[in-house]
Amino acid sequence: MFYCTRQDLINAYGEEELIQLTDRIYAGSIDELVLNQAIAIAQAEIDVWLTGSFKLPLPSVPLVLVMIACDFTRYLLSGDIGVDHHVAVRRRDQLATLKAISRGQISLGLDQSGEVTSRVDLVQIASGRNDFGDRSRW
């Protein structure tokens, strides 16, 4: 299951822009192979940030991940023709959001079924604590 789909990208940016970004042979249509490759790369990059905090694959895709995946995919597709400033800024902002999600600073949010997406229980290690009492009495 991909974090974003062809239709998500069309809804976000329009079919004409996707044609411009993917049509390498000037056929006048969206090149599915180019589009799917960019979607897969964007998903892999997102997974790098989520792997330590969430059990993957997620049972469903929260809307925030759809938005992040769309912006990452658009950025990747823009690489050959030059990235507009606003596309780069959106990717930078979405990367900051993804980092905050992976650190637990903000929630991944609700998934499409309305369920709260839960984090994997992680062990926390802190130095300087002595949970076994005073060793000087041993």
Task: Give residue limits of the domains in the chain.
Answer: 6-137
> Residues with Cβ < 8 Å from 113, sequence gap 6 or more?
60
- Are 8 and 68 in contact by the 8 Å Cβ rule? The answer is no
Q: pLDDT tens, 69-97?
A: 999 999 999 985 677 899 999 999 999 99
CA 47 to chain centre: 7
pLDDT at 130 over 60: no
pLDDT at 53: 86
pLDDT at 128: 58
> Is the whole model's pTM more than 0.75, yes or no?
yes
Average pLDDT over residues 84-113: 87
Q: How far is CA 66 from CA 4, 27, 39, 62, 122, in A?
A: 5, 28, 11, 7, 25
